[in-house]
Amino acid sequence: MTKTDYKEPAPSGVKLEVTALIDRDLWAELSAQGYTENDFNEAIKKSITFNKIGKKFRIPLFDILEVELLKYY
């Protein structure tokens, strides 16, 4: 008789909620240079990812305060 232990597969990703501080001086400087809200959104997303493909942004985040794991998927 063969014993088979069922194990759930490892998740392929996670959903996180991140709380971060924004560098207000850099934000103001970039705003004065014409950066849009969409530009800031993309820069923030790229600053917390491993893959930095696309435009080269100066990162407007100052520090990460908290990360909460919302779910596995």
Residue 7 has pLDDT above 70, yes or no: yes
Other CB atoms within 10 A of residue 64 CB: 12
Confidence of residue 6 (pLDDT cuts 50, 70, 90): confident
Tokens representing 59 are 């990162």
pLDDT digits 0-9 by tens, 16-64: 888 888 889 988 999 999 999 998 888 887 777 654 455 555 556 667 7
Domain spans of the chain, in order of start: 16-72
Burial class of residue 27, CB neighbours in 10 A (0-12, 13-18, 19+): middle
**Span 11-21, pLDDT tens digits:** 888 888 888 88
pTM exceeds 0.95? no
